[in-house]
Structure 1
Amino acid sequence: MQTILSDELLERIRHRAAGYDARNEFFTEDLEELAQVGYLGLFSPEKLGGLNLGLEEVAQLQMRLAAAAPATALGINMHLVWTGVARAFSDRGDTSLDWLLAEAAAGEIFAFGISEAGNDSVLFDSDTVATPTPGGYRFTGTKIFTSLSPAWTRLGIFGRDNSDPENPKLVYGFITRETSGYTISDDWNPLGMRATQSRSTVLDNVFVPADRIIRILPVGPSADLLPFAIFANFELLLASVYAGLGDRALRLAVETVTTRRSKKTGEVYANDPNIRWRIASAAIEQAAVRPQILASARDVDALADHGPAWFPLFVGPKIRATETARRVVDAAIRVSGGGSYRNDAELTRLYRDVVAGLFHPSDDESAHGTFADAYLGPITS
């Protein structure tokens, strides 16, 4: 891992993170340096110019990157989701997305234009209209949380084709930066994860040629490889970001309490039994996160067949990582004193960044529904 993300590179990335956050600015320099070490082609085979890593290895890299700069890791995650999807296809004998792996290794940046306001069906339905037209489809709708907005060169989108009302379809495809008809909104002023610049993208009759339409699926849950591959990479890489964030918060807490002294006793706070208990509790929770993520990622790489049990294996690590990270950051702030309340303190930034984990799919309610169905079966009348 250190041959790709060296300590020196991570220190430069960590040093820039506060400025990106304060200025609500994209992580341009981070992206340039990550591209130079081959990060865009992590999943791409060596024969295509990539580093030929699997999901388990990429998840570990994302944990390491997120410990330096969570917003940078979350932003580049969206590129890694698409390239991870393409790698999952290739590993399972479907070469239809090998072009994506080649373009990523060559420096193209892929973004994730899937999310829509109020669409809790996520991948299983869309409010964006996909209209069949000679030579392809035209898409009209609004995508939210489009990370990498200032930098992407390829944007994956999907919409609903209602041309046959009795048999509506979901259409997935890619546009390029040069495609006409889209507008990137200047609407990004969030609480945290500011450097991702995940602005809204408005699609107005945007044309996607047939050779960049990657899937046409029925509305609703599907056993197709695409939803599987998106869920696998999105959930596990997302969990990896918050695992890294939690690791960093815990480390900051330890550094603080081992140097900060009580005026009353003269002892370092690391000797206070209440603080030791709080740090230990956070560490116990945090220790369970990484193994769960990596076990699921390892099974994806190994082409394991868990059937319908796959989805709890993807959703569970995401919920554990995001919820644990929130509790660990809270514990870190509690033991670090009033200095952590400064707006320019790293823990304060982590406190704001970690809140974003609440909003990424799958949310808490959806995850509990997934597990309830897995263990109890569907609700019966």
Structure 2
Amino acid sequence: MTKNVGFDLFIRNEREAEIAERSDRLAARFAERSAQHDTEGSFPFDNFADLREAGYLLLTVPRAYGGEEASLYEMVLAQERLARGDGSTALAVGWHVGLLHQLRYTNAWPASLYERFCQESVETGALVNHLASERATGSPSRGGRPETKAVAAEGGWLLSGRKTYSTLSPILTCFTVSAAIEGTEETGEFFVRVGTGVRVEETWNTLGMRATGSHDVVLENVFVPDDQVVHLSGAPRQERTPDDGGWLLHIPACYIGIAYAARSFAIQFASQYRPNSLTTPIAELPNIRRQIGEMDIALATARTVLYSVADRWDREPERRAALKPELGLAKHVATNHAISIVDTAMRIVGAASLSRSLPLERMYRDVRAGLHNPPMDDVVVNGFAQRALDEVKQIMK
């Protein structure tokens, strides 16, 4: 067990230590490339080659197909430590490992389609993501009807439309999309392979998370055979076990990882930097020590909430629906604490933190993206308000 891993109180056994060590090794490589990919807005194909070679892409694939079958807790651990090296890479691959974790529990795909993709992922390193966002509908978590259309054709369906925020688009060979069934009020989910009629428009040019490859994906009469239909809303479906959003914990894990990296950079800087007006490094100043303490309190709070919720999700499957507010809480706390931690780190380092030659300004931009990942803050807060109101109504009866 490495020294860094040994200090982590959230690592409970040897398997988790091995998962953490692999993420640490990958993160160290990614950190060397992150500035260039951020400046260029380029997709980190080199990072994904390393992820594939290290077996990381199989983290949540079932053992039956040759994967590691990571628990939610293990996935969170892997993702948090990976993000310490590069937030964009961690968030992007998080959609792949998170979706495969969800599918393992929910039976959301037809069994034959799920088996085929798992085998393909093991054999070729194929990645997958679900593309649902559109400009007119906004976040799919808000419930808008997709403008992408599906038209019945002989032996399948023809899909046309445009998906936005299509993370991993430069490297995907397949993906699922939501679409409205033309002439009905129904919707469907379809498994699409990249080929004729599918193109990527490089529209992703953002303030933060610049290397996630979240471009627009355009579909023009793309044929999807019937055996690649995931589900049609008007049709009966196989029994499905709800995930209740557990897989989305890959999102707060990413932002906590970025915050950890910013905090560590600031502490190292404060431990070494001694202006000529002082006889000791600035880490000895009361104000700097207070800010370091505040960063670590925020970090410990966010990690404690995240890992305790992930652990309960794993251990108490019968209570997963009841845990939904806490799953949102983990994301709310992680995202907002991460922003605060990076801000404090920049205050410690001072004006130098604004320099493009240091990583803090990139981390500052990256953590703000968490505010726009689901679940949104207002949804989480409203959910807790509703639960509190329901609780008081029950008491008053």
Taking structure 2 as the reference length, the TM-score comes to 0.85
Distance in 2 (CA, whole Å) between partners of 1:121 and 1:79 is 17
* Offset at residue 62 of structure 1 (A): 0.5
Give the equivalent residue in structure 1 for 2:177. Answer: 157
SS at match of 1:238: helix
User: Which stretch shows the higher mean deviation, 293-302 or 351-360?
Assistant: 293-302
Q: Percent identity?
A: 28
* Offset at residue 37 of structure 1 (A): 1.2
Change over 3 Å in CA distance of 1:46–1:216 after alignment to 2: same
Distance in 2 (CA, whole Å) between partners of 1:143 and 1:81 is 20
Distance in 1 (CA, whole Å) between partners of 2:188 and 2:390 is 30
Amino acid at match of 1:306: R
Change over 3 Å in CA distance of 1:372–1:129 after alignment to 2: farther
- Residues 200-279 of structure 1 correspond to what in structure 2 (within 5 A)? 200-217=216-233, 225=240, 228-229=242-243, 231-233=245-247, 235-279=248-292
Give the equivalent residue in structure 2 for 1:350. Answer: 363
Distance in 2 (CA, whole Å) between partners of 1:19 and 1:373 is 45
Deviation readout 1:165-190 (Å, 9 max, x if unpaired): xxx33311211122x22221121211
SS at match of 1:337: helix
> How many residues are treated as equivalent by the alignment?
369
Deviation readout 1:282-319 (Å, 9 max, x if unpaired): 21111012222223323333352236433212211111
* Offset at residue 8 of structure 1 (A): 4.1
- Give the superposed CA RMSD: 2.8
* Offset at residue 83 of structure 1 (A): 1.1
Contact 2:132/2:140 (<8 A) preserved: no
Distance in 2 (CA, whole Å) between partners of 1:129 and 1:88 is 29
SS at match of 1:110: coil
Question: Which one of 121, 132, 135 corresponds to residue 114 of structure 1?
Answer: 132
Question: Which one of 126, 151, 170 corresponds to residue 145 of structure 2?
Answer: 126
Question: Which one of 183, 186, 192 corresponds to residue 175 of structure 1?
Answer: 192
Contact 1:90/1:98 (<8 A) preserved: no
Distance in 1 (CA, whole Å) between partners of 2:244 and 2:163 is 17
Taking structure 1 as the reference length, the TM-score comes to 0.88
Distance in 2 (CA, whole Å) between partners of 1:208 and 1:352 is 38
Change over 3 Å in CA distance of 1:207–1:81 after alignment to 2: farther
Change over 3 Å in CA distance of 1:324–1:6 after alignment to 2: closer
- Residues 1-381 of structure 1 correspond to what in structure 2 (within 5 A)? 1-2=17-18, 5=22, 7-89=24-106, 97-106=114-123, 107-117=125-135, 118-122=137-141, 124-127=143-146, 128-161=148-181, 163-164=183-184, 168-178=185-195, 180-217=196-233, 225=240, 228-229=242-243, 231-233=245-247, 235-302=248-315, 304-306=317-319, 308-377=321-390
Where do 5+ consecutive residues of structure 2 fail to align? 1-16, 392-397
Deviation readout 1:36-91 (Å, 9 max, x if unpaired): 11111111123312122122111101111000111110111121122112222369
